[in-house]
């Protein structure tokens, strides 16, 4: 089994993505998660470019990494500047990381027309920068920026830039598809050719160090993962990418897809099976830290990656999962999900009831009756495939197993607005728990916020552990806009605690009534746990 080195650049290239930002402290936390996952190289940032990255490298000196080698990123020296006097090179050395990655220009277009440099000086910049960093006893990774575009337009010069890095003593040469426009078959053939000519150079120069090629791809054609895998097939031994594919424009190669493909599909060693089981948790942790909603349809780690909705599919999966699943979801720390909707059959309900802990035998309500009821409710605007919390409560009500933790007596909401002040919302609520009533009031940024705060305040008198529960998403959807402001609306609320995320739904012509239904069921679900 061949080994592939994983190089994560979420903390640097990933933050170039739109709306992706991390504090220095958050970057330290992410680095520790990546290390625990088994990543071999963690690129922490560009210490010469901004104070945040400089602070990160200072903080990182106090943490112990078990697997990963921390890497500082920067460019080769500037044109016509001594490498000893270059501020960027000095910042790389001062970061004190065991590994340094420098990028240089491989495409003559960039050298001559963008940088206004000469082809000869560019080669000197590469060779001298790598050699200087090697003299400081660093492992040096050379990123050949725009390599594939440069190779296709001026093959001879692109190869010379690699030779310059080899002459400087680079440990790894990474071929970069910086614009993300190269296709898999070109990636594979070019990587094979580069591997071949570099091996010849090593033999001619009698260099004993092992030849190591890496790949760095962007996703502008939707091919970043496929391109990375193609490069591995052609001999690349290092794969660079980001968690969740975060990165500039359309993003970088997504390591949450690449890692399981290498491990489970191609039999390459990159991380252990136990580490692979942490993949989904790391993906979600980084999404939460970046304040980005996780993509449900993300392969391997997405919420929908192993979700089944059609009745025929579910029936088959219950008999033999591989009939509709390409792998066991537990391998990547994910889980099988069966969705319930108007497309469902009895198999969906039976599977879901078992998953949610609902006994369908009570009260004569079998799975067929529940399917019919759900289909009628979905006709009215409900959508239970995205609201497991409400589905559980619904099935419990059908089967006389529902025991509410509290009951609403009444609530009142008032909104105030004058010409100078923004709207303010106030809610008063009366609930009862085991016959004991509680009345509270609270303010909020809107009517639902005020109602949420008032309900939470009242429930805290009876259930002090509610502090662990928080609302993470609130969506309102007009089901049919032809009725204007009287149209029926669907409200979806996602809540979470330390163990899981659950969703509840409400439907009504009154947005407050729909919001209350979803809000109440969210709390009922939490308290029933």
- Which of 347, 366, 398 is the C-terminal boundary of a domain? 398
Residue 362 lies in a domain: yes
pLDDT digits (tens, 9 = 90+) for 458-474: 999 999 888 888 888 88
Domain boundary among the residues 348, 363, 398 is at 398
> Mean pLDDT across the stretch 12-31?
94
Residue 422's pLDDT is what? Answer: 83
| In a domain? residue 50 | yes
Q: Is 211 helix (H, G, I), strand (E, B) or coil?
A: coil
Which range is least confidently modeled, 122-131, 176-185, 192-201, 203-212?
Answer: 203-212
H, E, C per residue of 133-164: HHHCCCEEEEEEECHHHHHHHCHHHHHHHHHH
pLDDT digits (tens, 9 = 90+) for 216-233: 999 999 999 999 999 999
d(CA 114, CA 36): 41
User: Strand 69-75 relative to strand 41-45: parallel, antiparallel, unpaired?
Assistant: parallel
Least confident of 20-29, 289-298, 372-381, 505-514: 372-381
CA distance 469 to 496: 6
Q: Domain containing 423 — which CATH number?
A: 3.30.160
* Residue 49 or 113, more confident: 113
| Mean predicted confidence (pLDDT) in 428-456 | 94
Contact 190, 231 (CB under 8 A): no
Closest CA to 268 of 245, 298, 236: 236
* Domain CATH code at residue 97: 3.20.20.70
CA dist 132 and 112 (Å) reads 24
pLDDT at 209: 59
CA distances to 31, 400, 455 from 378, in Å: 44, 21, 28
The confidence score (pLDDT) of residue 267 equals 92
Residue range(s) defining the domain that contains residue 49: 5-271
pLDDT at residue 414 greater than cutoff 90: yes
Please report the pLDDT score of residue 208 as a whole number. Answer: 63
**Are 385 and 442 members of one domain?**
no
pLDDT tens track for 359-400 = 876 555 677 778 888 878 888 888 887 788 998 998 888 888
CA distance 488 to 472: 24
In a domain, 288, yes or no: no
pLDDT at residue 423, rounded to an integer: 85
pLDDT exceeds cutoff 80 at 203: no
Say if 219 falls within a structural domain. Answer: yes
Q: Count of domains in the chain? A: 3
Identify whether 325 is part of a domain: yes
Query: How confident is the model over 69-96, as a mean pLDDT?
Result: 95
Whether pLDDT at 524 is above 80: yes
What is the mean predicted confidence (pLDDT) over 169-194? 97
417 Rama class: left (phi>0) / alpha (psi -120 to 50) / beta:
beta
- The pLDDT value given to residue 42: 98
Residue 415 and residue 354 share a domain: no
Of 271, 291, 315, the last residue of a domain is: 271
Residue 277, strand partner residues: none
Question: 429 in helix, strand or coil?
Answer: strand
259 and 394 part of one domain: no
Whether residue 86 sits in one domain with residue 33: yes
Q: Are residues 125 and 175 in the same domain?
A: yes
Q: Which two tokens stand for residue 164?
A: 């310059």
Residue 489 included in any domain: no
Domain shared by 99 and 172, yes or no:
yes
Is the pLDDT at 448 greater than 60? The verdict is: yes
| Pair 211, 350 in one domain | no
């Amino acid at each position: 089994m061949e080994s592939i080195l994983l190089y994560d650049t979420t903390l640097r290239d990933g933050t170039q993505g739109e709306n992706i930002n991390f504090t220095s402290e958050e970057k330290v936390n992410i680095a520790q998660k990546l290390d625990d996952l088994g990543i071999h190289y963690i690129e922490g940032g560009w210490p010469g470019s901004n104070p945040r990255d400089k602070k990160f490298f200072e903080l990182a000196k106090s943490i112990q990494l078990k697997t990963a080698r921390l890497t500082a990123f920067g460019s080769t020296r500037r044109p016509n500047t001594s490498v000893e006097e270059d501020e960027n090179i000095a910042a790389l050395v001062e970061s004190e990381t065991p590994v340094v990655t420098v990028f240089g220009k491989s495409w003559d277009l960039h050298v001559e027309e963008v940088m206004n440099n000469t082809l000869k000086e560019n080669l000197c910049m590469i060779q001298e920068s790598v050699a200087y960093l090697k003299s400081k006893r660093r492992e040096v990774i050379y990123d050949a920026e725009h390599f594939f575009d440069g190779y296709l337009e001026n093959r001879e010069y692109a190869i010379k830039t690699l030779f310059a890095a080899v002459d400087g003593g680079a440990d790894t040469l990474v071929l970069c598809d910086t614009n993300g426009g190269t296709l898999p078959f070109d990636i594979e053939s070019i990587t094979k050719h580069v591997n071949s000519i570099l091996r010849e150079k090593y033999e001619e120069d009698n260099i004993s160090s092992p030849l190591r090629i890496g790949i760095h791809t962007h996703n502008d054609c939707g091919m970043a993962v496929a391109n990375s895998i193609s490069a591995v097939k052609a001999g690349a031994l290092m794969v660079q990418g980001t968690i969740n594919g975060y990165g500039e424009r359309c993003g970088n190669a997504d390591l949450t897809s690449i890692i399981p493909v290498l491990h489970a599909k191609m039999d390459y060693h990159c991380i252990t099976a136990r580490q692979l089981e942490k993949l989904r948790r790391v993906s979600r942790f980084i999404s939460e830290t970046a304040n980005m909603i996780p993509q449900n349809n993300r392969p391997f780690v997405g919420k929908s990656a192993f979700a089944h909705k059609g009745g025929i599919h579910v029936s088959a999966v219950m008999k033999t999962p591989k009939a509709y699943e390409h792998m066991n979801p537990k391998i990547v720390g994910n889980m099988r999900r069966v969705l319930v909707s108007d497309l469902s059959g009895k198999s969906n309900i039976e599977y879901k009831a078992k998953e949610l802990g609902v006994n369908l035998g009570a009260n004569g309500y079998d799975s067929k009756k529940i399917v019919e009821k759900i289909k009628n409710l979905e006709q009215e605007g409900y959508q239970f495939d995205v609201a497991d919390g409400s589905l559980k409560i619904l099935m419990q009500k059908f089967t006389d197993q529902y025991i509410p933790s509290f009951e609403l007596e009444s609530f009142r909401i008032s909104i105030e607005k004058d010409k100078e002040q923004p709207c303010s919302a106030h809610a008063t609520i009366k609930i009862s728990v085991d016959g004991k009533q509680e009345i509270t009031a609270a303010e909020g940024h809107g009517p639902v916020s005020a109602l949420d705060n008032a309900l939470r305040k009242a429930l805290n008198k009876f259930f002090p552990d509610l502090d662990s529960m928080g609302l993470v998403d609130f969506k309102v959807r007009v089901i049919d806009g032809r009725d204007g402001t009287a149209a029926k609306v669907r409200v979806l609320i996602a809540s979470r605690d330390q163990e899981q995320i659950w969703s509840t739904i409400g439907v009504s012509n009154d947005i407050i009534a729909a919001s209350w239904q979803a809000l109440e069921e969210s709390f009922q679900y939490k308290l029933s746990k």
